Structure 1
Amino acid sequence: MRPDSDYGVSKAFGEILARYYCARWGMESICLRIGSVRDDDDPTTDPRFLRTWLSHRDLVHLVECCLRANVSYGVYYAISNNKGAFWDLSNARAELGYDPQDDASRRSPR
């Protein structure tokens, strides 16, 4: 881990604490590193969102995957299938069955 802010440190602490509870008491936990979820579901208002957007549809799908998964502990990025994304979804795809359908680059501005 290499957090770059106080916020990142707090997120890392939460993930490590969840891992500890899993190992110590068997408490299952899935940690999601949620990208950019917009009230209006529009990723076109900021260039960063084109890489970090998580559509409402893909968010619902990912939560459903988490609830069905046979995973004791895991950390997963939560974004849509965005062209040029800089976060890797391969473990969410393999371990959770996550199959995001939306891509910010294919959305037209509203």
Structure 2
Amino acid sequence: MNRYEAIGAIETFGLVFVLEAADAMCKAADVELVGYENVASGYISVIVKGDIAACNTAVETGVKAVNDMGAEVYSSMVIASPHQDLEKIISRYSLTELLPPQEEVI
């Protein structure tokens, strides 16, 4: 299992706002977009991983992007040095788990 230094997440209301947050997060710092989850009743969370400083920058930038659109961030967080068992939860939201396998084009 790959080990990374931190995970960051933002939860807001609506797909448009979470897309804006994810875009801002990935552009602001060297983080990998893990995936997203439609939590309930329109609330959606987006998760990134990377080093601690990058995750902090990404989450701060994502929160600002959502706020700049006039929306509200329900919650946000960065976990430094997450326990390896959190991978069991995070892998559930992985975009690679959600996408069908791609055929190799030769």
Whether these two folds match at TM > 0.5 is no
From the two aligned structures, give the one with the greater strand fraction.
2
| Higher gyration radius (CA) | 1
Higher RCO (Cα < 8 Å, 6 or more apart): 2
